Chain A
């Protein structure tokens, strides 16, 4: 099976710092790909390049049949790439519906169709099994899991088929994290490409189909989660693989 998303030999420098050094990665429809790595490994830079936030110095981005040397945010959105950032990108002072529809508002003759947006927001949340009783609630009043649900609903509403989650369970309790991962899993099961950046290896191996390990701007390993283990990933992350190999 061909991959739907492929980043080939991506390099990105910030002045003298090599954030990405010939990094390559691929993702398939219907699977959850987890990217793991220590701070500064290049995970977020790679994701930002796929999301159009950053432009690579060199390399190729392939989405479906199309190839790009770089993407802008709007090009990435049009190509179906949607990202939930660690800060969730929500407006805490505005309500649930506004947050879901931002940039995708339904209008008629330039006037917002608030009732229709509320109705669709309700349906989206119900379909995703996100427990938010009232779409008129202010986002800042909701729990971390509910806020994650809003961010996911926005992605799904946007119609993207490549969904990226940067630390989706950060600062969440056990129950909320479990619900969020279940939600992410269900998106992949619907045939979408799902990429998550996650530090919690237990959650990674519970949710992901494949694991990519990054260190020093390179993708060291990319393989099915069933063929890897937490022990192997930790060894790769901490350079213990080399030490073990030398022995």
Chain B
């Protein structure tokens, strides 16, 4: 059973799941406020924004690339949508335009990486910086408020007992997981991360595929941006700052190899929840946010050491 899971690459996901369950049990004993429906919803709510980014980042990293611009896309999209909204454009059109602008930025990143063979770290670092500059310039470094009921519903509304951001994020995770495991698109993404030249020799248009992966990451960052703006009912010029690092951390902790070629959606999904359980638990225990950052960093280093052990062993053989 375990051997089969190992070959299918799911053994690490099972380990993560057990870690998550163990953490829930431990935190339940440590804090009486942890195992409550409200706190459970709070953890998922906090995770939802990151889940969008994590899903997109999982694809990008599985393909052997990186996208540092997702946090900046959240800010940029906020600027686009708030400009339109303040100009009297209906909320629905603002949302669609915001999403389209995010996809275009993602596709532009991919085009630069694929066409000119520039390292994606450099490309997305540059677009991130450019977008941050444009947003600060256009918004005059000021936060804008008041975006009506549609945004508020998407950011903090509910369907039944489920919060909209959670519902949207879970749907995104399920769709992305199915695409990764069940379709050519997922196979090509992993194959690209493992051996891009071979994928090209197999007759696959690797340039187009790479652009689509970055566009997909942009799309998900755009969805995250809508939730951020709706939840706070505001468009902040620095919204999403540093979110890319949390997304990368969850993807790596989730078992995706930074060099590409190996990864899943389920692993980063669970890892994202774990990281947010840690933050939530430490907050309930009254631990300073500074310590939370340190603990999160240490956990990621340990996970990278553990998950990278097999690869190092193989390279030594």
Residues of A in contact with B (beta carbons under 8 Å apart): 51, 53, 73-74, 77, 83, 85, 87, 89-95, 98, 102-105, 107, 110-112, 134, 136-138, 140
Interface centre among B8, B200, B202, B314 (most CB of A within 10 A): B202
Chain B interface SS verdict (over half): helix
Chain A interface SS verdict (over half): loop
Q: Which residues of B contact A107 (CB under 8 A)?
A: 183-184
* Candidates A74, A91, A137; contact of B203 at CB < 8 Å: A74
Q: Would A89 and B190 count as touching, CB distance under 8 A? A: no
Q: What is the bound-complex CA distance between A77 and B203, given in angstroms?
A: 8
Q: What is the bound-complex CA distance between A77 and B7, given in angstroms?
A: 31
Min CB–CB distance B188 → chain A (angstroms): 8
Given contacts A112-B182, A136-B7, contact A103 B202 (CB under 8 A): yes
> Closest residue of chain A to B200, judged by CB?
A73
Q: Which residues of B contact A138 (CB under 8 A)?
A: 7
Q: Which residues of B contact A103 (CB under 8 A)?
A: 199, 202-204
* Candidates A85, A112, A134; contact of B184 at CB < 8 Å: A112
Question: What are 14 A-B residue pairs whose CB atoms fall within 8 Å in the complex?
Answer: A83-B201, A89-B201, A89-B202, A91-B261, A92-B195, A93-B193, A93-B257, A94-B187, A94-B190, A102-B204, A110-B184, A112-B182, A112-B187, A136-B8
Q: Which residues of B contact A104 (CB under 8 A)?
A: 202
Min CB–CB distance A215 → chain B (angstroms): 27
> Closest residue of chain A to B184, judged by CB?
A105
Q: Which residues of B contact A110 (CB under 8 A)?
A: 183-184
Q: What is the bound-complex CA distance between A138 and B7, given in angstroms?
A: 7
Q: Would A89 and B257 count as touching, CB distance under 8 A? A: no
Q: Would A92 and B183 count as touching, CB distance under 8 A? A: no
* CB of B197 within 8 Å of the partner chain: yes
Given contacts A91-B195, A94-B194, contact A112 B203 (CB under 8 A): no
Q: What is the bound-complex CA distance between A194 and B203, given in angstroms?
A: 20
Q: What is the bound-complex CA distance between A134 and B4, given in angstroms?
A: 11
* Candidates A73, A83, A85, A94; contact of B191 at CB < 8 Å: A94
Encoded as 1 (CB less than 8 Å from any A CB) or 0, chain B from 195 to 222 comes to 1011111111000000000000000000
Q: What is the bound-complex CA distance between A110 and B200, given in angstroms?
A: 21
Q: Which residues of B contact A87 (CB under 8 A)?
A: 197-198
> Closest residue of chain A to B204, judged by CB?
A103
Q: Would A98 and B187 count as touching, CB distance under 8 A? A: yes
> Closest residue of chain B to A113, judged by CB?
B182
Q: Would A91 and B191 count as touching, CB distance under 8 A? A: yes
> Closest residue of chain A to B185, judged by CB?
A110
Min CB–CB distance A196 → chain B (angstroms): 18
Chain B residues with a Cβ closer than 8 Å to the other chain, count: 24
* CB of B262 within 8 Å of the partner chain: yes
Q: Would A89 and B182 count as touching, CB distance under 8 A? A: no
Min CB–CB distance B8 → chain A (angstroms): 7
Q: Would B184 and A91 count as touching, CB distance under 8 A? A: no
Encoded as 1 (CB less than 8 Å from any A CB) or 0, chain B from 175 to 189 comes to 000000011100100
Q: Which residues of B contact A90 (CB under 8 A)?
A: 195, 198
Q: What is the bound-complex CA distance between A91 and B195, given in angstroms?
A: 5
Given contacts A89-B198, A89-B202, contact A102 B7 (CB under 8 A): no
Min CB–CB distance A47 → chain B (angstroms): 12
* Candidates A77, A89, A134, A137; contact of B195 at CB < 8 Å: A89
Q: Beyond A87-B198, A92-B195: 18 further Cβ-contacts under 8 Å?
A: A73-B201, A89-B201, A89-B202, A91-B198, A91-B199, A91-B261, A93-B190, A98-B190, A102-B191, A102-B198, A102-B204, A103-B204, A104-B202, A105-B187, A107-B183, A112-B183, A112-B187, A136-B7
Q: What is the bound-complex CA distance between A87 and B257, given in angstroms?
A: 22
* Candidates B200, B202, B262; contact of A93 at CB < 8 Å: B262
Q: Would A140 and B314 count as touching, CB distance under 8 A? A: yes
Q: Which residues of A contact B314 (CB under 8 A)?
A: 140
* Candidates B8, B187, B203, B257; contact of A73 at CB < 8 Å: B203
> Closest residue of chain A to B187, judged by CB?
A98
Q: What is the bound-complex CA distance between A103 and B187, given in angstroms?
A: 10
Q: Which residues of B contact A98 (CB under 8 A)?
A: 187, 190-191
Interface centre among A103, A107, A138 (most CB of B within 10 A): A103
Encoded as 1 (CB less than 8 Å from any A CB) or 0, chain B from 117 to 140 comes to 000000000000000000000000
Q: What is the bound-complex CA distance between A107 and B184, given in angstroms?
A: 8
Q: Which residues of A contact B200 (CB under 8 A)?
A: 73
Q: What is the bound-complex CA distance between A105 and B193, given in angstroms?
A: 18
Q: Which residues of A contact B257 (CB under 8 A)?
A: 93
Given contacts A98-B191, A136-B8, A140-B314, contact A53 B201 (CB under 8 A): yes
Min CB–CB distance B30 → chain A (angstroms): 39
Encoded as 1 (CB less than 8 Å from any A CB) or 0, chain B from 249 to 271 comes to 00000000100011000000000
Q: Which residues of A contact B198 (CB under 8 A)?
A: 87, 89-91, 102
